């Protein structure tokens, strides 16, 4: 590692223990097609290194990992390191047309995954088209050398990568609903570590199985990599403890079910404290909107105790909340607290310098001859503050850094352009049509931001997993109905709010977050339901450089994929 990079790490305030540790780890990710058989059918999917889910990236807190991404598929691709802040280096962040253009077939791009204070489990995924359905994997970040976990070291750990599987080609599904203007076709199965499990045809023999020893404690590193589904999950006969979310430790939260939104990660401890036997871990959808169709199937894997003797009885199935139980989802999410210990302190922004209220809405736009498959023959769109994001064709970061005009505007509305009963029923259809634009919100370096996400009931209210790139944020409050500034701010948790990068904003409700804009760059903010981002539910924050050394964007890498 160069002196320059060393100085950079020192500036970040990281504890550097030995020269050996500083050697960056290098991974080679080849994006290519591979054949898999699922649900009785052979299918070709896009993968990294031929694996599904893709390879796990291992690191320790504060390390920089180098990944050379080579595209040997036949579509342009980008890779995003979800939850990694990439201080001063948005060039490696990955969302297509936001921080880079796609890596063309045959080309490669060497990305730096710059870890700082993240610790726990994160993940990586494609951030172009719908490729992330199969192009994704875990990022495991262990404590720095010689540092302990804030809980007794688990006996072993297992990955739990939750995803969706389509019988058809996912890019065809994307093209289909883009053309028809309707809802995308739903998936045909959910998977745990690539396998649907016992409850699906032709899947039983290959169900994922984990061996556990009675009396030992295990850590599950879980991600919801599904495209369009929130999931309830649980382990038959066992309670568990959540000890981390989105790469940050939490106070242990004991529960017998969990909810996890697309994009979210979770570190979970569970003790094999039941009679020797077999127990399902199962996941199935949480869906709050009865009007939409969704894949209402259940994926399972098996925890099998050592010494188990084959019997005919089925593994024990967990009790999961009902599919539309918003209160179960909200209760779980709202019970999470930061660990906020001496070794893992928190730093909630107190003196707010920028306030925002962002509405998230489903929208409709006209369609020739009313021939689309959305409501009333219209085409579905989605928006933030009534702006449906129009993706540019060169990256916003290129345009910002290179001062290229006409690619994006810097006039994103700070508040909803219109105040109406956001969560009311029978809203006028005249509110449904959004603007279509490419707008960014510009932040000063060091701004303390408070942002209230407000769900709306336009077209059909639903939960939204809102994700911010380049930052973690504190979730200081949440509620149902319309946010009431004078009343709701009084009950904010400023003591131990959870630190996240993706938060579930409840159906017809609101969630307030706070973060410090201390990472100069161009950072996407979007709903992590893939169909919503495809419809335009995204916007861009641009954080300006600060004035002191170490507060400016680093120069672009020489091999940044060109836009032309
Ligand atoms: C996948 O299977 C198809 C059809 O059997 C075959 O033509 C193709 O070469 C295989 N692809 C890979 C990457 O193995
Ligand atoms: C899938 O492909 C494998 C290997 O090419 C073949 O043996 C198998 O019969 C195929 N299965 C189905 C269901 O087509
Ligand atoms: C990556 O691209 C560069 C520039 O085109 C090329 O020189 C290099 O050989 C490529 N590396 C791999 C592994 O393909
Ligand atoms: C989506 O579903 C419809 C209706 O079942 C079907 O006709 C269509 O082929 C599907 N699209 C894709 C891409 O498979
Ligand atoms: C979804 O499946 C569950 C059983 O797993 C069933 O109880 C429920 O009625 C189904 N809901 C819908 C909307 O299909
Ligand atoms: C959930 O669905 C059931 C019937 O499917 C309905 O009776 C119930 O009111 C719904 N609950 C909520 C919270 O929407
Ligand atoms: C959610 O929490 C409230 C208040 O603690 C409780 O009354 C309710 O039963 C809980 N709902 C579920 C589904 O656990
Ligand atoms: C709309 O309808 C008219 C008259 O039937 C037809 O000529 C035209 O091609 C249609 N347009 C589209 C986009 O379907
Ligand atoms: C890219 O977008 C700009 C601005 O919207 C437009 O003027 C230009 O024609 C587009 N270029 C291509 C190749 O689509
Ligand atoms: C907004 O709509 C909700 C749901 O219909 C209703 O309960 C509430 O009274 C409305 N609020 C106002 C201020 O009209
Ligand atoms: C969004 O903007 C359009 C165009 O100005 C307007 O017709 C519509 O009512 C607005 N909707 C909302 C919810 O602000
Ligand atoms: C948004 O505007 C752009 C540029 O004018 C246009 O190409 C695009 O089709 C529009 N999108 C929608 C959904 O209307
Ligand atoms: Cu959404």
Q: Which atom of ligand 3 is nearest to the CA of 28?
A: 13
Per the structure, the complete domain to which residue 104 belongs is given by 6-142
| Ligand 2, CB within 6 Å, residue ranges | 37, 40-42
Ligand number with the minimum distance to the CA of 366? 12
Length of the chain: 564
Partnered with residue 523 across adjacent β-strands are 541
88: left (phi over 0), alpha (psi -120 to 50) or beta: left
Cβ 108 under 6 angstroms from ligand 3: yes
Q: Which two tokens stand for residue 394?
A: 């060169």
Partnered with residue 195 across adjacent β-strands are 192
| Structural element, H or E, at residue 135 | none
Give the C-alpha separation, 190 to 160, whole Å: 12
Q: Which atom of ligand 12 is nearest to the CA of 381?
A: 13
| Ligand 6, CB within 6 Å, residue ranges | 324, 326
- Specify the number of domains making up the chain: 3
pTM summary value: 0.94
Q: Which two tokens stand for residue 501?
A: 């990068």
Mutate to test the pocket of ligand 9, among 393, 399, 407 (most ligand atoms within 8 A of CB): 393
One domain for residues 392 and 291: no
Write the pLDDT tens digit of every residue in 296-324. 999 999 999 999 998 888 999 999 999 99
Ligand number with the minimum distance to the CA of 358? 11
Give the C-alpha separation, 324 to 267, whole Å: 25
Q: Which atom of ligand 3 is nearest to the CA of 68?
A: 13
Does residue 562 lie within any of the structural domains? Answer: no
Give the C-alpha separation, 235 to 281, whole Å: 4
Q: Which two tokens stand for residue 34?
A: 């591979």
Please give the order of strands across the beta sheet that includes 108-114: 41-48, 25-38, 64-71, 108-114
Classify residue 440 by burial, with Cβ atoms within 10 Å: 0-12, 13-18, 19+: buried
Q: Can you tell me which residue has the tokens 């939204």?
A: 464
Cβ 421 under 6 angstroms from ligand 10: yes
Query: What percentage of the chain has pLDDT greater than the value 90?
Result: 94
User: What are the backbone dihedrals phi and psi of residue 132, each rounded to the nearest 5 degrees, phi first?
Assistant: -65, -15
The Cα angle at residue 89 between residues 514 and 412, in degrees rounded to 5: 50
Write the pLDDT tens digit of every residue in 139-178. 999 999 999 999 999 999 999 999 999 999 999 999 999 9
Classify residue 495 by burial, with Cβ atoms within 10 Å: 0-12, 13-18, 19+: exposed
One domain for residues 378 and 327: no
Instruction: Please say which residue of 95, 117, 142 terminates a domain.
Output: 142
One domain for residues 106 and 180: no
Does residue 291 lie within any of the structural domains? Answer: yes
One domain for residues 127 and 199: no
Give the C-alpha separation, 330 to 539, whole Å: 25
Q: Which two tokens stand for residue 442?
A: 């510009």
Does residue 554 lie within any of the structural domains? Answer: no
43 CA → ligand 2 middle, Å: 9
Q: Which two tokens stand for residue 466?
A: 């809102």
One domain for residues 132 and 193: no
One domain for residues 362 and 329: no
pLDDT in tens, the chain (564 residues): 343 444 444 444 344 444 444 566 899 999 999 999 999 999 999 999 999 999 999 999 999 999 999 999 999 999 999 999 999 999 999 999 999 999 999 999 999 999 999 999 999 999 999 999 999 999 999 999 999 999 999 999 999 999 999 999 999 999 999 999 999 999 999 999 999 999 999 999 899 999 999 999 999 999 999 999 999 999 999 999 999 999 999 999 999 999 999 999 999 999 999 999 999 999 999 999 999 999 999 999 999 999 999 888 899 999 999 999 999 999 999 999 999 999 999 999 999 999 999 999 999 999 999 999 999 999 999 999 999 999 999 999 999 999 999 999 999 999 999 999 999 999 999 999 999 999 999 999 999 999 999 999 999 999 999 999 999 999 999 999 999 999 999 999 999 999 999 999 999 999 999 999 999 999 999 999 999 999 999 999 999 999 999 999 999 999 999 998
How high is the pLDDT of residue 545? Answer: 98
One domain for residues 169 and 217: yes
Does residue 553 lie within any of the structural domains? Answer: no
CATH for 44 = 2.60.40.420
Instruction: Please say which residue of 113, 142, 171 terminates a domain.
Output: 142
456 CA → ligand 10 middle, Å: 12
Does residue 550 lie within any of the structural domains? Answer: no
Q: Which atom of ligand 9 is nearest to the CA of 438?
A: 5
Does residue 552 lie within any of the structural domains? Answer: no
Q: Determine the 3-state secondary structure of 229 from DSSP.
A: coil
Q: Which two tokens stand for residue 29?
A: 């990710």
One domain for residues 222 and 267: yes
Does residue 268 lie within any of the structural domains? Answer: yes
One domain for residues 415 and 369: yes
Cβ 386 under 6 angstroms from ligand 11: yes
Instruction: Please say which residue of 116, 142, 168 terminates a domain.
Output: 142
Mutate to test the pocket of ligand 5, among 295, 319, 323, 462 (most ligand atoms within 8 A of CB): 323
Give the C-alpha separation, 128 to 236, whole Å: 37
One domain for residues 124 and 74: yes
Write the pLDDT tens digit of every residue in 499-537. 999 999 999 999 999 999 999 999 999 999 999 999 999
Does residue 184 lie within any of the structural domains? Answer: yes
One domain for residues 434 and 329: no
One domain for residues 361 and 479: yes
């Amino acid at each position: 590692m160069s002196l320059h990079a060393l100085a950079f790490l020192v500036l970040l305030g990281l504890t550097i223990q030995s020269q050996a540790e500083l050697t960056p780890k290098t991974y080679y990710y080849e994006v290519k097609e591979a054949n898999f058989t699922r649900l009785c059918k052979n299918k070709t999917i896009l993968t990294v290194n031929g694996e599904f889910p893709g390879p796990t990236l291992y690191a320790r807190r504060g390390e920089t990992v180098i990944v050379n991404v080579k595209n040997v598929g036949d579509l342009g691709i980008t890779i995003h390191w979800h939850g990694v802040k990439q201080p001063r280096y948005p060039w490696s962040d990955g969302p297509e047309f936001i921080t880079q253009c796609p890596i063309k077939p045959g080309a490669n791009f060497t990305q730096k995954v710059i870890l700082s204070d993240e610790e726990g489990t994160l993940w990586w995924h494609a951030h172009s088209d719908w490729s992330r359905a199969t192009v994704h994997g875990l990022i495991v970040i262990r404590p720095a050398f010689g540092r302990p976990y804030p809980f007794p070291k688990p006996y072993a750990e297992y990955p739990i990568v939750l995803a969706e599987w389509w019988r058809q080609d996912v890019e065809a599904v994307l093209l289909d609903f883009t053309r028809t203007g309707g809802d995308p076709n739903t998936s045909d199965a959910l998977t745990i570590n690539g396998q649907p499990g016992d409850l699906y045809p032709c899947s039983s023999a290959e169900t994922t199985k984990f061996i556990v020893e009675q009396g030992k404690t295990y850590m599950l590193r879980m991600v919801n990599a599904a495209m369009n589904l929130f999931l309830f999950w649980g382990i038959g006969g066992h309670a568990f403890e959540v000890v981390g979310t989105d790469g940050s430790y939490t106070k242990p939260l004991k529960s017998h079910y969990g909810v996890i939104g697309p994009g979210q990660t979770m570190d979970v401890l569970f003790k094999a404290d039941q009679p020797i036997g077999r127990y399902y871990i199962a996941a199935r959808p949480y869906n709050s909107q009865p009007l939409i169709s969704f894949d209402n199937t259940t994926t399972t894997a098996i925890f099998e105790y050592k010494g188990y003797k084959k019997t005919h009885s089925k593994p024990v199935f967990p009790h999961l909340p009902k599919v539309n139980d918003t209160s179960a989802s909200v209760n779980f999410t709202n019970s999470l607290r930061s660990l906020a210990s001496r070794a893992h302190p928190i730093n909630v922004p107190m003196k707010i310098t920028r306030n925002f209220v962002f509405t998230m809405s489903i929208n409709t736009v006209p369609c020739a001859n009313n021939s689309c498959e959305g409501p009333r023959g219209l085409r579905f769109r989605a928006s933030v503050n009534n702006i449906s994001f129009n993706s540019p064709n060169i990256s916003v970061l290129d345009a910002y850094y290179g001062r290229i005009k006409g690619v994006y505007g810097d006039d994103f509305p700070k508040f909803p352009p219109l105040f109406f009963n956001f969560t009311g029923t029978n809203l006028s259809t005249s509110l449904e049509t959004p603007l279509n634009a490419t707008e960014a919100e510009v932040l000063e370096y060091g701004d303390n931001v408070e942002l209230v996400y407000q769900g709306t009931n336009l077209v059909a209210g639903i939960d939204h997993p809102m994700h911010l790139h380049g930052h973690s944020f504190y979730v200081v409050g949440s509620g149902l109905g319309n946010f009431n500034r004078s009343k709701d701010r009084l009950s904010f948790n400023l003591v131990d709010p959870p630190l996240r990068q993706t938060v579930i904003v409840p159906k017809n409700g609101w969630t307030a977050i706070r973060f410090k804009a201390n990472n100069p760059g161009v950072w996407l903010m979007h709903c992590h339901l893939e169909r919503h981002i495809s419809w335009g539910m995204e916007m861009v924050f641009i954080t300006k450089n600060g004035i002191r050394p170490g507060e400016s964007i680093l120069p672009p890498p020489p091999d940044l994929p060109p836009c032309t």
